[in-house]
Amino acid sequence: MVALRSSHDREILRLAVLALGSLAAEPLYVLVDTAIVGHLGRSQLAALGLAATVLSGLFALFNFLQYGTTAQVARAEGAGERRVARRLGAQALWLSLAIGLSLALAVSLLAEPIVAALGGEGETGDFAVTYLQIAAFGLPFALIAIAIQGYLRGVSDLRTPLVYIAAGNAANLVLELLFVYGFGWGIEGSAWGTVIAQAGMGVAFATKVLADARGDRSPRRRLLGRLLTFGRPILVRTSALYAVFVVATAVVARFGDAPLAAHNIAFQLWIFLALVLDAVAIAGQVIVGRTLGAGDAERAYDASLRMIWMSVAVGAIFAVALLAAAQILPLVFTGDDAVIEQAELLWPIFALMQPLNGAVFALDGILIGAGDVRYLMWSMVAASSASVALALLALVLDWGVVGVWSALALLIVVRLATLGPRFRGGHWLVTGWS
């Protein structure tokens, strides 16, 4: 029996609500792009789906810059190592800048083969390449914003990221409408609007962390090494997850533009809802990291259990809402009858995944906050392998978009089956800073 109230609720809700604003705002960049570009034509919408898969995957792939920084900074704060926490923020800045510049060069040079590998052809492929080559300019700024959000969450400052990201989203919306419809730049205008908004946010986050660091801004090998050591298993874990999304998109692309466009609509909404659910996971990273750093394993476990049930409840609400809006939501993004028909096929799977997503995302945040990243890595590899196998089978047997979304559902089921026992076993309850 789950209690209606808990002593942990106030802190969980405070952190989760603040995290919710910034988390929900992040995918709005892509949702705004999808809504604006979707009315330019089917080829543009399908192209955006290909480009968004690459960009969303890169942001997810390097989210160890954010998650690893949050967990390490929160643990340092809990252990009373506040100067170390500030230094970790500066190290996250230098690390994200180096990775972002490298990625920008790689994406700009490899846009054509990347799109071809995802099945982009003809006009759709050309639009996707154009979008990626422009979007590459925003990658260094976007990764800086991701990393410094991790630092600010670790010191329990979730208000600053919310302000910066809200301002960036507002700028993105205005710029895209101006460039796409005012100047008639089409899909190129959508890409440039996003790049400029990302640049503004990146500069704001960098300025904030450098001000906090004061005399501790210079690169420090030991702390950089700690972030990288902690981040490697998260990178592998996220790479395995990204492989699932890449294979899913590549398989759908081979069924035609209409299934690909429908998949893009549902996938972007899935990402949006996933990040909303992840608000509780962010609270988990902060609370678990801080309480374990302070040596309080019992409080860490009790708060974590509460967060899991709260996240499942939110996921159930999403499931009901999505099923009720199944005939309405796709119309926001497209008026194409073939795309809408494909969206209707996958919608029940998409909706019913949400409560399971809630449990999995909460467990993920809790174990990251605890530093149990090696187990997370191997459990994700197992789940991703099963999902990819089913997606490829869907291609061979021509199961269409339903088969691909069944593979995505299998990913979540296997993850829950591996993370749940780990949580109950308590092996992740390791206290202290060092």
Percent of the chain with pLDDT over 70: 96
Whole-angstrom Cα distance, residue 192 to residue 407? 34
Average pLDDT over residues 339-349: 87
Whole-angstrom Cα distance, residue 433 to residue 177? 48
For 302-341, what is each residue's pLDDT tens digit? 889 989 988 999 999 999 999 998 888 888 877 778 888 8
For 8-47, what is each residue's pLDDT tens digit? 777 888 888 888 777 766 666 667 777 888 777 778 888 8
- Higher-pLDDT residue of 123 and 198 is 198
Show the 3-state SS of 228-274: HHHHHHHHHHHHHHHHHHHHHHHHHHCCCHHHHHHHHHHHHHHHHHH
115: number of Cβ within 10 Å: 25
How confident is the model at residue 384, as a pLDDT? Answer: 96
Average pLDDT over residues 273-295: 86
For 42-86, what is each residue's pLDDT tens digit? 788 888 888 887 887 788 778 888 888 988 888 888 888 888 888
For 124-177, what is each residue's pLDDT tens digit? 888 889 999 999 999 999 999 999 999 999 888 888 998 998 899 889 889 988
Is pLDDT above 80 for 261?
yes
Please state the pTM of the whole predicted model: 0.78
CA torsion sign, 272 to 277 to 278 to 280? positive
Which H or E element spans position 370? helix 354-370
Whole-angstrom Cα distance, residue 133 to residue 112? 9
